Each structure stands twice: as structure tokens, then as C-alpha cells.
Chains A and B, each alone.
Chain A
């Protein structure tokens, strides 16, 4: 069932268009992650859902009800802030109880529900402390507790883990995932960290310059990026782009260095789309160093990644591709690369969009 629906949502700050025409449905129990570089409009979108920003255009529905103009208090949502925003003059207990007091829940119920949440999060022994006395990981848990205690329609989280160090971040990521499975809360989560997005999301919404670039499962956005932005933004390092010129059916593609690439599937796709200039997108792990590969190049640097190496290979003047391969022996100088065509994407060079075949 649909829990949140955004319809052509836009937000303008003066001349700056922060969010453009965002349309999205979030389903019950889903964990949605908004992912994008800073300034891409993901936080603004989240704040509009929360009611902290008024949309310039468009509508917001929560649980079937139009809430576009309702104040945050009447949307029954919870928001976890990047900096936690715990009330410093209240104890942990009072912080978690604060939303319940607004709903005039009885004292006994408040105690019971706060205790319940504290138990799930392992905060029972900290209830009498003030936020300033807590570690940042515990502060984060209190912020989560305050969000959970009211059983909201949607959890909204704005980069909730960015204030933690790497180790705590990993723990909290697992904790959040466990909580999501346990209480099955519909969650919209904003981050610029693709590892968080990949590891937690049911679906990722990739945004850039105020617009949705792609909505899909982590696997979809990784393997089948809709456009060059998504292809490059997702993955570390991002997808390699190799410009190709189509020479005609049966004659293959010409690379910048003059090499000719042949692949029947790719040629069919290009013919189908009537394109001459295209870009081959291939992730570093789908290229490999081969004795007689299809693309000639020269290794310019090697980064050991433990059991794998990350090679930077120059295939034409100024055109460097990254290759992830197992090869352990010292490689240097001229090599050739094999392309794993089944895991490649072809982009229209003019529009930057991926060309889809008959089967997506």
C-alpha cells in the first residue's frame, strides 16, 4: 500500500531551483534512500515531506491524506536530524517522552512506551542522563528513540549517521537495518554515502541538481544506471566511460585509439536506437587484463586493494579507465583489456541516457 506520494514537487529559493518536479511513491514498510551529492535537493525534499519547507509547487500525500499545507505537527511523522537535535535541558527520558506529551498520552503510558523503546535500543541505563553526558552513538540512539516512540506513519532521516566515526557508523547501520526489520517502519533516508544507501535501501532514489535521476533497487542502480550521472556517481570508483563511434552494421565500433570493438548485442542496440556516437559504460570489475584483450592500453598506476588491484589504464591520450583485477604479478607497460559485455551499458552520447534493449 502506498504510504507517501509526492506529485510534481518543486521548491524554489529565490532564483535557485532546489527541487524540480519530483514525483515518487513510497510504499508501506519500505526503506527508501535519497542519494546524491550535496546540494542535489535531497534534504529539501525530505524537509518538504516533514512540513519544514513549503513546496513552491506540487502535492504531498501521507497515508492517502493530502498534507501539503499541514504543519509538521499534524502529519504524524518523525524526523531524525543530522545533528540529533536532542533537547539539552531534558533528560534522555524526557527527550523520548516529549512527542508523547504533545499527544496528551497518560503518564503511565508514557512511562511504559519510553521504557519499551529504551529496551529495544539498549538505553535503559541512560534514561536519567542529559544529552551532553552521552557519546555520539548513544545520542543517535536517543534521537531514534524519540522518533520511534510515537509510532509515526513515516520515519524521515537526514544523514543520521554522518556525525559518527567510521566504526560507530557501521554498528548503527546494522542497528538501523535490524530496527527496520523489527518494527517494519516506512523510512525515507537521506544520505550522500552510497555504502549506506546500497546496504540499507529497498529502493534508492538518485538525485542530482534537484531532479530524480533514477529510482530503483541497489542492484538496478548499480548494474543498470539510467544515465551517465548515475553510472558515475554510484560505485567507487564510478563506471568507466569509453566513447565509441559506430561504423555500421557488422563493422563494429571505433575507439579513440583507433581499435575496433565488435559485439553483436551492442551493435543491434545502436542500430535499434539509430545512434552513431555512443558511450560504453563498464564498471572496473567488468574489465580485466587479458593477454589478447579487445582494448589496448598502458598501465599508469596500480592501487592494491588487498586481494585485488585497482589499475589505472590509459587507452587513449588522456583517457584513463580503471580496472579491478586479481592479477598479482607485477604488471607494467602495455596491456590489453577484455570487456565483459554482458555487464556493460551503452549510453547515447547526445542525451547521456542509457539505451535500452528489448529486455531493459
Chain B
């Protein structure tokens, strides 16, 4: 009984510890300008949507009050984030799933060396290759292009995707596709009709991680883009007015930026919980 209460209190404390920054950002995004800086901080305040309205250029006339010059750049850059993170995630998960299937099911010459090579691409900190990438991208004309960032994020996520999916593929018994092959299907059909549905939970988990990595990436987005293909993270950090940092709008931007990943994770959580295949193959 006492232990239960202690446990409850501990959980609440841990939750406060982790959720406070998020509460802070969300609350700030709804606070009026003076309340943002109030000391002690106000937990009860009159809310406002003004930061969101200026962020999305719905009420541009308000923006000037916060020292904003010209239109807010957030909407196009948010869209860039969606396009770049989305496409790179789809590509790395798709390629990862196919290669993981091949590694798992066929005898690949030098399989272990290849897998290690794929993993080794993750071993150096990305920041080390920042300058070389910049030089190469400039030479190839990929600076500030969507395709440039998509390729980059796809490449960085691919090793992770191959390794994670290989684990999931190895767990799917071969008998499933063998049964499908005998039932009259080609290997390709067997893959799509039988293996892919089994791999869904793995694909969902892999996609969540790839999406988060690509969505939150800051460094390469900062040095490899400037205008056209700039994504939200470097853009939010740069929200400044003539009279200093526009904290309200930054908070609104961060809140909007958090939402897609939360929503995506929410929708795939059914697949994240494994157990879809539990108990069907006797081992």
C-alpha cells in the first residue's frame, strides 16, 4: 500500500521532469508577449493565438508588433520538412526492407562483411563529413535542393533500416514464403502477400525512427540549404525580430513541429506492439 503510493509519487515526479519542457513550450506559444517573460512564471494566463496567426501569415499585420520583417517563412519550410523527411523515410524503409529480406533469405556472397560495411557508415559522427559533403554537393549542384537532403537522409538512415529490418525478417519463419511458393505464387508475390504483412510491425518501428531522425536533423539542413529547400529546424532557430528573439513564435513553431511525429507514432503504435504473429508457428 505504502509502496504503491511511493511508486505513484515517483511516477508523477518523473513525468513532471520529462513533460515540463514540453509544457513550457506549448504554454509559451499561447502566452501574451509580457507573460512570456513574467517572473515568477505565470501558470494562469490569458491565452492568445497571435503567435500561430503570425507564424502562418494569417494575421501579418500583427507581426510587425513583434519586430518581424516581411512574411513568416515557416509555412514553406514546414512543408519542405514534410516532403524531405517523408520521402527519405519511405525510401530508406523500402530499400532497407528489400535488402534485409535478401540478406535474411538468400546466400549473399560476403554477407557479414557487407552488413558490417553498412553498419560502419554509422560509426563516424555525421558532423565530421559536413565539409566534404558541402564540397561534393556544391560540385554536383545539390546545394539547397530537396533531392539533395532526401538522398542524404536516406543514406544516413539506410544502415539503421537494413539492420533493424534484418532482425525482423530473421524472425519471420521461412515456411511462410515456402508455403506461398508451393501454393502457386512467385517469390515476389509471396513477399508482398505473406512476408510484408508479417513485417508490418518492424516496418512501423523502423519508419518511426527514420522519420524522427530525418525530421529533427539540424546540422546538414543548416549547411546544405539556404532558401528553397530549407527545412523547419534551422528555420525555427532563426526566428528573430528586429527587437530580439521572437520567443512566442518560436514556441508556436516548435509546437507545430512536434505534432506530425506525435500523430504518426500514434497511428502506427498498433503495429509497434508486436504480437500480431504470436503463437502461429510452432517452434
Q: Is B6 an interface residue (CB 8 A)?
A: no
Q: Is the CB of B198 within 8 A of A89?
A: yes
Q: How far is the CA of A145 from the CA of B261 in the complex (A)?
A: 44
- Which one of A32-40, A98-106, A259-267, A342-350 is at the interface? A98-106
Residue of B nearest to A163 (CB): B282
15 contacts between A and B (CB under 8 A): A52-B181, A73-B185, A77-B182, A78-B182, A84-B281, A85-B173, A87-B179, A88-B198, A88-B277, A89-B197, A99-B184, A132-B279, A139-B280, A139-B282, A146-B183
| CB of B111, distance to nearest CB on chain A (Å) | 15
Contact A98/B282 with A83-B175, A85-B173 known, Cβ cut-off 8 Å: no
Contact A84/B198 with A99-B183, A102-B184 known, Cβ cut-off 8 Å: no
Contact with B along A169-185 (1 / 0, CB 8 A): 00000000000000000
Measured between beta carbons, the chain A residues less than 8 angstroms from B43 are none
| CB of A114, distance to nearest CB on chain B (Å) | 13
Q: How far is the CA of A77 from the CA of B182 in the complex (A)?
A: 7
Q: Is the CB of A72 within 8 A of B280?
A: no
Chain B, range 77-96, C-beta contacts under 8 Å to A:
none
Chain A, range 73-117, C-beta contacts under 8 Å to B:
73, 77-79, 81-89, 98-99, 102-103
Q: Is B180 an interface residue (CB 8 A)?
A: yes
Residue of A nearest to B277 (CB): A88
Q: Is B278 an interface residue (CB 8 A)?
A: yes
Q: Is A312 an interface residue (CB 8 A)?
A: no
Chain B, range 168-216, C-beta contacts under 8 Å to A:
173, 175-176, 178-186, 189, 194, 197-198
Q: How far is the CA of A83 from the CA of B194 in the complex (A)?
A: 16
Chain A residues proximal to chain B, CB less than 8 Å = 50-52, 71-73, 77-79, 81-89, 98-99, 102-103, 131-132, 136, 139, 146, 150, 163
Q: How far is the CA of A132 from the CA of B185 in the complex (A)?
A: 24
Measured between beta carbons, the chain A residues less than 8 angstroms from B11 are none
Contact with A along B143-177 (1 / 0, CB 8 A): 00000000000000000000000000000010110
Q: Is the CB of A87 within 8 A of B181?
A: no
Contact A98/B178 with A83-B281, A131-B280, A132-B280 known, Cβ cut-off 8 Å: no
Measured between beta carbons, the chain B residues less than 8 angstroms from A52 are 178, 181-182
Measured between beta carbons, the chain A residues less than 8 angstroms from B238 are none
Residue of B nearest to A152 (CB): B182
Q: Is the CB of B281 within 8 A of A102?
A: no
Q: Is B46 an interface residue (CB 8 A)?
A: no
Q: How far is the CA of A98 from the CA of B197 in the complex (A)?
A: 15
Measured between beta carbons, the chain B residues less than 8 angstroms from A72 are 178, 181-182
6 extra interchain contacts, Cβ-Cβ under 8 A, other than A52-B182, A99-B183, A163-B282?
Answer: A72-B182, A73-B182, A88-B276, A89-B198, A102-B189, A132-B278
Contact A103/B184 with A81-B178, A88-B276 known, Cβ cut-off 8 Å: yes
Q: How far is the CA of A85 from the CA of B281 in the complex (A)?
A: 6
Q: How far is the CA of A98 from the CA of B179 in the complex (A)?
A: 10
Rank and list the top 3 A-B pairs by shortest CB-CB distance, nearest first: A102-B184, A85-B175, A99-B183
Q: Is B283 an interface residue (CB 8 A)?
A: yes
Measured between beta carbons, the chain A residues less than 8 angstroms from B176 are 85, 87
Q: Is the CB of A84 within 8 A of B282?
A: yes
Q: How far is the CA of A72 from the CA of B177 in the complex (A)?
A: 11
Measured between beta carbons, the chain A residues less than 8 angstroms from B182 are 50-52, 72-73, 77-79
Chain B, range 232-283, C-beta contacts under 8 Å to A:
276-283
Q: How far is the CA of A89 from the CA of B192 in the complex (A)?
A: 13
Q: Is the CB of B282 within 8 A of A86?
A: no
| CB of A86, distance to nearest CB on chain B (Å) | 6
Q: Is the CB of A102 within 8 A of B185?
A: yes
Measured between beta carbons, the chain B residues less than 8 angstroms from A99 are 183-184
Measured between beta carbons, the chain B residues less than 8 angstroms from A86 are 280
Q: How far is the CA of A235 from the CA of B175 in the complex (A)?
A: 32
Residue of A nearest to B184 (CB): A102
Measured between beta carbons, the chain B residues less than 8 angstroms from A85 are 173, 175-176, 178-179, 281
Q: Is the CB of B184 within 8 A of A81?
A: no
Q: Is the CB of A83 within 8 A of B178?
A: no
Measured between beta carbons, the chain B residues less than 8 angstroms from A87 are 176, 179-180, 194, 197
Q: Is the CB of A81 within 8 A of B179?
A: yes
Measured between beta carbons, the chain B residues less than 8 angstroms from A81 are 175, 178-179
Measured between beta carbons, the chain A residues less than 8 angstroms from B179 are 79, 81, 85, 87, 146
| CB of B204, distance to nearest CB on chain A (Å) | 14
Residue of A nearest to B280 (CB): A88
| CB of B132, distance to nearest CB on chain A (Å) | 43
Measured between beta carbons, the chain A residues less than 8 angstroms from B173 are 83, 85
Residue of A nearest to B181 (CB): A72
Residue of A nearest to B172 (CB): A88
Q: How far is the CA of A86 from the CA of B173 in the complex (A)?
A: 11
Measured between beta carbons, the chain B residues less than 8 angstroms from A89 are 197-198, 276
| CB of A21, distance to nearest CB on chain B (Å) | 25
Residue of A nearest to B283 (CB): A83
Measured between beta carbons, the chain A residues less than 8 angstroms from B180 are 87, 98
Q: How far is the CA of A102 from the CA of B179 in the complex (A)?
A: 12
| CB of A349, distance to nearest CB on chain B (Å) | 43
| CB of B191, distance to nearest CB on chain A (Å) | 13
Contact with A along B53-84 (1 / 0, CB 8 A): 00000000000000000000000000000000
Q: How far is the CA of A79 from the CA of B179 in the complex (A)?
A: 7
Q: How far is the CA of A200 from the CA of B279 in the complex (A)?
A: 29
Measured between beta carbons, the chain A residues less than 8 angstroms from B184 are 73, 99, 102-103, 150
| CB of B263, distance to nearest CB on chain A (Å) | 25
Contact A98/B183 with A83-B282, A85-B173 known, Cβ cut-off 8 Å: yes
